[in-house]
Structure 1
Amino acid sequence: MPNLRFIGGIAWMAVTIAGCGAATPPSAQTPMPSEPTLINYVDPSVVQGLNTRTLFSGETGNRHVHAVYPAVADAPRLTEKLHGIVSEELDRFTRHGAPALPKPEFNVDWQLAAASPEVLGVRLRIGRSMESGWNESRTTVWYDRTKRRALDSADLLTGRPALVTLAGVVRGELALRGPLVTPNALRPDREMFDSLGFNPRGDLVVEFDDEQVGLGVAGRVAVAVPSATAAPLLSELGLRAQRAAVRAKRVPVPTSQEEIEAASTDKPPARSSKAGSVDCAKLRCVALTYDDGPGPETSRLLDTLRAHGARATFFSIGSNASARPDLLRRMRDEGHLVANHTWSHRDLTMLPSSKIADQLTRAQHTIAQTLGQVPALMRPPYGDSDIQVAAIAGRLNMAVVRWNVDSEDRQDADPQAIADRTVTRAEPGAIVLLHDSHPATVDAAPEILRRLSAAGYTFVTVPELYGSGEMVPGRIYESGGVSTALDR
């Protein structure tokens, strides 16, 4: 069983789902969260028609980029607005990034701040590496489902006078925070109040970008304005958003070493349901691996793999998996293997050990709860690993999987070119890097499968390349029969 005892005091972010039934108005009887500025996020899988869109994931120039945002089928204007925000931020980073850094990185993570038949709230967390270190900005976009409008957070307020009043309340609270915070930097500008949400009690949570109203070492700065104070300032949309946020219910998640272990003890390691049906010592085997999903293209790829009797290994991002658990279950049921690709695709080699563990365990928890199986493989984003990453993966009972054949599909929109590179470079025992988030890669799949099948290849999951031998946790695997053990 995965040994998670080493995690110790790592804090788990609460996972929440939307509640059912009538809305409960904010009340003083509602328990105050332990940290009042924490927002009660909604499980994205309960929102019908929600999928994820990948603007870009991979390396561009000398920069690491992973930019994903949600898309809801019946809210095209929300999707358009989110795309515009992420595109603008990525363009700004590309033009004005920090090329002097060894690995400049841009990363977009997201959560649902609220979801109801009337309103949706999407919180974007945009991180970028700067000369001074990692810096995050936060933006929450609201969608009025009744009027089909995508709006800024400031539109939760009744107007300019309400914004001025709110700024005064928040400034007064910031003045009590000590020398790391600079209340005088706060202005009643819409741009400064671009991330508004609500905690489970209905208090208005105002959060700021790093270094916007404080020193960098202050980290995330946020203020919870009591519901009674905030209510007169809220517009009709704001009141609906508040009700939707209060309606969300918490889901119990492991918060201690014992609970974490108990959540995994009844789940076996993930294994293809067809493992053992092929002897790769006698056949020409190749392992196709797909990163960064699941997403809108994954279902089409699964159709293609099923039509060709092929199976693959899917290194899934935890945040995407939480949005499309149905696709993870289909992968499992059709003989594929689901593995861990971290929660939000951060470069693990640039993180401290606690955040590496958090990236892996959050994804591990989501996948295991969905499938009833615990991933035994992980792939580090961008393929970047080191002794610390391998050691933490090993303690979580996961082998580290890289590749020896790169389809170079991430920046290529030509399916034929992707297929040609993959087929030309394939060899027995190869681990092939592909991405199910990329439409052209999915378009190339039938050609790849047809040509490699004609060349006598059999398509297997990664562990099948190694036959009866177990893949060792903490080892790095790049092709069939080859692994690297790092001192730990």
Structure 2
Amino acid sequence: MSHDEYEGAHLPGNRGADGFDRGAEDAGRDLDAEVFGSEAQGSAGASTGRTERGPDRTGRRAVIAGGAVALAALGGGAAALMVVNRDRLPVIGGGSDGGGRAPSRTDATTAPPPPPPAEVARAAVAALPDQSALVPELATTDLSRTGMLVSFPRIPGARGLSEAIDIAAGKMLRERLFRGQSATLTAAGRVIASGSGVLGVLLDATDEQGPSASLLWYRAEGDRPFTSPALVRAESWGALRDAVLSAAAGVEGTDPEELRSLLQEQPRPFGNGPALLPQADGALQVLFPSASAGGSRGELVLTVPAATAASLLSEDGAAVQQALAAPAPFDPSLRTAPGDSHDGDALYVLPAEVDAPAPARVSEAPGPRTQLAPLVGDGVRPASVVAPDASRLRSVSLTLDDGPSPDLNARVRGDFAAAQAAATFFMIGQSVAEWPDAVAKTCADGHEISSHSWSHPQLTKLSADSLASQLQRTTDAIIEACGRVPFSMRPPYGARNGNVDDAAAALGQSVQIWDVDTLDWQSKSPQKIMGHVDSETRRGSLMLIHEIHPTSAEAIPMILDWFASNGYTTFTCAELGQNQMYAGCHYTRGLVHGHVVTGPTGSASEGGGASDGGGQG
């Protein structure tokens, strides 16, 4: 791909003339036409007692019948029609034979035909509540300035969840880029569950392949985000599989082997596995983002009955169900983070089992195509981390300091796009303010955007006020340039101490050092850079290179080729940390590091910047 072709791929091709806010509504209307029919069809429906409600906060429409909103649902493996009132409370339930129906002004006896499975799934997503009012200090991250119709919630009182949402959004943006110039993406998020120490967030996306929903969950204790697999006990995943296949038996055109395989994947946006949604009545909805049903492929929702679901839920699943059944204000004071050490490497807790590293799985199916972990075994619960599963991949993070470079940024981004690779860019605030377009494009490509101070001083030598200013001004400049909030920073030269860690903590940022220094600033030689890569890289490495040197830019495609040849998958720093990078803690490596196969702890890296100065960063 040439540089001009690469830059052309970033022209927003899906933004309406009215801008982001109106564009999001237009996206909802386009989806309505696909799911519920055109505006003309809606008007025709009105003559038989069916009208369309305008877009609500989700950007969707529902069909109103006799003053109630008719939403399709599947229960017990058979089609049914659920009717909810305008407050989205069930008022009529469909029978297991699909005979449930909504009252009509003109025909109170004839049941409508069962809706297509994709409509059923979309209606289930549209019916999810908005509990934003229960979350204090809720903010919105709006990426419209990057040309992307993407927005999602940010919750300062739930730092781990906010970073996890950012990870998921970055993954969606990268996958759009990798699908090519004609790819589209609109996405919006909202809080759908709130309890005193529990939150749930929906990220609802639509691209040229259709709509899909990602559900992220959170427990304040431990500042811990997670995805749907955590809602089911590990030993009960096989029972969930059996219940899903039983429910699917009543839906025409489903493929049991396909569903069995999908249950071995992480959920969106990290795989094609299902999102799980406990119901207030104890049932469990299982939402597949892309599955065969009814003669076509699309979203599919199946319901596991309450009698079966009760024995499947984990402690996290029960807490989520309680928050959905009895919403309550979220209490940020309940948030805790493990340990009081600044040494993040020492705080890492490995999964119970860590597999030998493997190359990423290749898939041509709809949905994400990169960073795909190998399938787990039949009946084995997939990882619930809000990131690609590093416990099964040979993962590494290539990080770029001192940008954005007005001369090299587009070239570097093009190389990452060609290799379908992810990166973290540690940017200097002054350069961010001078070249905000480069920041916006880097953000739109789905890379992680992080802070590298305002003017690159040695932070350990600054007064408390000057240190705070260096970090705050850079954070503000990044938000102004692209809309995203940085959740990590890298101190220049790797120079950090407790004061630097505390200043980062005040902004909700972790401190990222490294364990592989390419010394690119010193050698100015692509061959010598590659020598460091070849001899020092290992699973979980955080690798330092710079964006501003032409010889470093020349080496980057060589490094990415070397990664591919040696079975490495590139991660961002946040992804490499697997939701265990906490504000105010410093890190030199990823969670799964070296050649660990199994065990409760990992071996710490010996690399990284000195605590009071050292490496060139």
Instruction: Give the TM-score normalised by structure 1.
Output: 0.44
Instruction: Give the TM-score normalised by structure 2.
Output: 0.35
* Highest RCO, 1 vs 2 (Cα 8 Å, sep ≥ 6): 1
